[in-house]
Amino acid sequence: MKSFVPAALAGALLACAGCDHAPPPAAPAPPTAGSDLPTHAQSKLATIKLWLGSEELEAEVAATPLQEETGMMFRTNLDEHAGMIFILPEPERASFWMTNCPLPLAAAYIDPQGTILEEHELHSNDATPVLSTAENVQFVLEVNSNWFDRHHIGVGTLITTEHGSLPDVFLRRQ
């Protein structure tokens, strides 16, 4: 059964995502082994259909701080047309890393209008932060490693959802 994230949940996401979150001046340090890291994979999250050009994905929506922190940790497989989208509380210079993530991934850093700004390969269990060049990243989409290349999706691609644009679905102020 597929589910979607209505605008109300998107509003809740924005409220829960951390009001004091400011764009980092440099890459933040990834969590260390001694910190309170998640210890197991999270269950499948609510999903939304995304279109990247003519390509369709079913993306899980990391909608709470714990879901965002856990992300794809401990997962060992991901369907070819699946991914996870993260909605940042405000545009920023994004930084993602792969602590406890045995599955190699690719990440698209996306602007507030839903356009891909950058694509990066993320290596298994690599705790090195992958900092965006752009300072206006509002969304991050993680998919299987090399997915963007295999599907000919590049910088400048507009991402939409089954319910409208990314900003209409996730950034609508209430």
What's the CATH number where 79 sits?
2.60.120.1140
In a domain, 73, yes or no: yes
pLDDT bucket at 168, cuts 50 / 70 / 90: very high
Query: 116-146, pLDDT tens digit by residue?
Result: 999 999 999 999 999 999 999 999 999 999 9
pLDDT at 63: 83
Tokens describing residue 148: 């963007």
Residue 103 resides in a domain: yes
Residue 8: phi and psi, rounded to 5, are -60, -40
What confidence tens digit (pLDDT) does each residue in 56-79 have? 999 999 988 889 888 998 899 999
Q: From CA 120, how far away is CA 8, in angstroms rounded?
A: 31
| In a domain? residue 125 | yes
Let me know if residue 61 belongs to a domain: yes
pTM: 0.79
Note whether residue 58 is domain-resident. yes
Whether 83 and 100 have beta carbons less than 8 Å apart is answered as: no
Residue 170 above 50 pLDDT? yes
Residue 57 lies in a domain: yes
Token pair for residue 82?
Answer: 């699946």
Binning pLDDT at 50, 70 and 90, where does residue 172 land? confident
Give the pLDDT confidence score for residue 122 in this predicted structure. 96
| Domain annotation covers residue 52 | yes
Separation between Cα atoms, residue 26 and residue 163, nearest integer Å: 35
* 82-107: pLDDT as tens digits: 999 999 999 999 999 898 999 999 99
pLDDT band at 13 (very low <50, low <70, confident <90, very high): very low
Task: Quote the domain boundaries for residue 124.
Answer: 7-17+45-170
- Asked if residue 28 belongs to a domain, the reply is no
Q: How many domains does the chain have?
A: 1
Residue type at 107 in one-letter notation: A
Helix (H), strand (E) at residue 25 = none
